[in-house]
Structure 1
Amino acid sequence: MTIPILSASSPPATDWTALRNFAALRGQFRVSLTPLCNEACWFCHNEGDVPPPHTRMHSKDRPRPGELTAADYLTVLRDVIAAGLKRVYFTGGEPLLSPLARPVLTELPDAGADGSYTLITNGSLVRRNAAWLSTTRLDKVKISLHYFSDDSLYEIAGVRFGINQILDGIDAARELFERVELNTLLQRENAHEILPILDYALKRRLPVQFIELVDTDFNEAHRDSAVTADGLIQHLRSLTTDERTEIAGVGQGRRVFRVDGVEIDIIQRILGRHHVGQCGTCPVKPRCVEGFWSLRMDHAGGVQPCLLRDDLRLDLRLLLANQASTATAIARHLSAFTEGTL
């Protein structure tokens, strides 16, 4: 038998197991197109960057500067999709504020029958961008509806352009896409509007996800705003007996109801969160309930597996400049993370 001899310059073999397992568990690849937003919701974590409400209060604290081109985004997407990570979410800030939104979203590579592209937006800019959004490969638009009046919109997001602009954006999305969903954070500021939001979603046959507040460093000053989903769950049980609990894969456990065929999700803290990787030995685990359920790529060229661990951020810029495989680097980074060797 001949034993192959590798030269000292040969790169180590890439172990794809961690990346493929993460994809098989329905892990997300969250791609931030910009940290900027036309809202400043108090609970925003801005995918790990400086949140807009913090910048409003501390003008010297700015998000990372943008470092990527549209071509860079598309290169990374082609790489990770070819490697099997095909569940892609475009986020911000507000992604439709980015000048790169159009050149990226209109040139998306084919993710295959088992892939999907989702745009997460506050809805306020959908109508003005409708013409080109209709030409994209987006499978779904998920619109944040944490408010249902001008007053609650101002209290929660600090803006005065009015709730009708957001509701019109939802209508515009429904005209463009077969799949439109809503998500609503349960909080003291909107507790009186939760049932009207539910009724609004049911009448328009829009799936909606209600989320209990997840404590992070980004919202610790507002922990008294957290409310439970208990009352909403009891109300839903009065509307339907179709209820199940899902804790499979990675991410947050959820309680799922179907009311006249419309899916209503409740992300409930008591169901736990399900992660992969070194969370068990993570030094910030005592103050973290997010864990690793998504890979996050920011507009500055970094990829990290956790909101609270900037020290685990992988910089892709040199790889992109040298036309090296970003998926290979991400796979190795993820393997090191899951093995606890980063």
Structure 2
Amino acid sequence: MFPPESGLTALRNFAALRGQLRVSFGPACNIGCWFCHNEGDVPPRTTREDRTQQPRRRALCAEHYLAVIGGLTKAGLRRVYFTGGEPLLSKLARPVLEGVGVFAAPDVSFSLITNGILVPRNLAWLRDTAIGKVKVSLHYLSDESFQEIAKTRLPVSAVLAGIDAARDAFERVELNTLLQRQSEHEILSILVYALERRLPIQFIELVDTDFNAAGQSAAVSADGLMAHLRTLTGQERVEVIGVGQGRRVFTVDGIEVEVIHRQLGRHHVGQCGACPVRPQCVEGFWALRLDHSGGLQPCLLREDLRLDVTPLLAADDPSATVAAATARHLASFTEGTL
């Protein structure tokens, strides 16, 4: 049984502010980007360089994922993103992505975040899922920058081929690009690449967190990019509604170019009001993150807020049980009792 409407208030407030559910199938990845935070787990590159640092053990199967996703979408969440590592590297990707179709609704969206490399070989089954948007990370446009950033021997053409494949199969394909020294010389070329293919793109300034502290010298300001965008268009707006970082949105020939700009700040939902670390916060509560070991975490910076849902999945109605527990958890956070 779901709790009464009043018991779901905190969860539904989060959903109304465009909060999202990010579902990680696990830490495995076919590349190793230096800035990856792996949704709060040990990043793939860290494990490659130091085998003593291992991510959490897997606790969820496909049925578990579907129970949690079903419960939270029924309870009000409307935006679900599938992440990794690289989600298409997981054997759970296909049964889960095919299975979420039963939760599809006009106001519920399912998005895949990928590096694009494995899209072509999975396209035959991907095109028949409920995935409505594919978001491809494109932080590079040459073999040299790709290999430096992602610690790989693959050519960047493997990523570009994945983007082309996604464009052929999905109505909406978007790109996201982290602004960094290693590919600063390619930023405008990446912009041209996106505009020529009429792909919405998001440029992101590096946010200072514990996960990327060693790479802060690689951070690049978005000021130069925004100055260039203003020579291309007069259509610019600022979005600070909902949750997450504020952003500037430029419309160039009908294509949206978003810039996640640190100077606009982060926007927190009511749940953050009593948080003891809010004055120092650079993350904010903008996503509930479900990881492969059964943790549901509202903030990467506070491990103490991580809810273990694995015991709840043995209930007679696991979907409703998880949704009710999540709602109680967020209500406690709102009230400052966690």
**TM-score tier (shorter):** over 0.9
Cα distance, 1:288 vs. partner? 3.4
Asked whether the 8 Å contact 1:20–1:84 carries over to 2, the reply is yes
Distance in 1 between residues matched to 2:110 and 2:170, nearest whole Å: 12
- Aligned 8 A contact 1:26 1:249 in 2: yes
Secondary structure at 1:299's aligned position in 2? coil
CA separation in 1, counterparts of 2:139 and 2:278? Answer: 28
- TM-score, normalization by structure 2: 0.95
State whether residues 21 and 290 of structure 2, in contact with CA within 8 Å, keep that contact through their aligned partners in structure 1: yes
The one of 133, 153, 163 aligned to 1:170: 163
Identical-residue share of aligned pairs (%):
65
Query: Would the aligned equivalents of 1:253 and 1:274 in 2 still touch at CA under 8 Å?
Result: yes
- For 1:82, the equivalent position in structure 2 comes to 74
- Aligned-partner Cα distance in 1 for 2:252–2:306: 42
Give the deviation of 1:93 after TM superposition. Answer: 0.6
Q: Does 1:185 align with 2:178?
A: yes
Runs of 4+ aligned structure 1 residues displaced above 6 Å come to 11-14
Structure-2 change in CA distance of 1:132 and 1:283 (3 Å)? same
Counterparts of residues 115-264 of structure 1 (less than 5 Å): 115-264=108-257
SS in 1 for 2:300: coil
Establish whether residue 41 from structure 1 lines up as the match of residue 33 from structure 2.
yes
Q: How many residues align?
A: 332
Alignment check: 8 A CA contact 2:274 2:335 kept = no
Check the 8 A contact 1:186/1:212 in 2, yes or no.
Answer: yes
Whether 1:334 aligns to 2:335 is no
1:71 lines up with 2:67 in the alignment: no
Stretches of structure 2 that go unaligned for 5 or more consecutive residues are none
Q: Which runs of 5+ in 1 are unaligned?
A: 1-10
Q: 1:244 to 1:14 in 2, by over 3 A?
A: closer
Q: Alignment partner of 1:218: what SS?
A: helix
Deviations 1:155-193 (A, max 9, x none): 111001110000000000001100000000001111000
State the SS of the aligned residue for 2:70: helix
- Of structures 1 and 2, the larger Rg is shown by 1
What is the rounded CA distance, in whole Å, between the counterparts of 1:276 and 1:14 in structure 2?
18
Aligned residue number for residue 113 of structure 1: 106
Q: Could you tell which deviates more after superposition, 14-23 or 135-144?
A: 14-23
CA deviation map 1:110-168 (0-9, x unaligned): 33111100000000100011111011000100000011111001111100111000000
Q: Report the TM-score, using the length of structure 1 for normalisation.
A: 0.94
Say what the alpha-carbon RMSD is for the aligned residues. 1.5
Indicate the larger mover: 14-23 or 127-136.
Answer: 14-23
User: Secondary structure of the residue that 1:264 maps to in structure 2?
Assistant: strand
- Does the 8 Å contact 1:215/1:288 carry over to 2? no
Between 1:195-204 and 1:307-316, the stretch displaced more is 307-316
More helix by share: 2
Q: Secondary structure at the match of 1:18?
A: helix
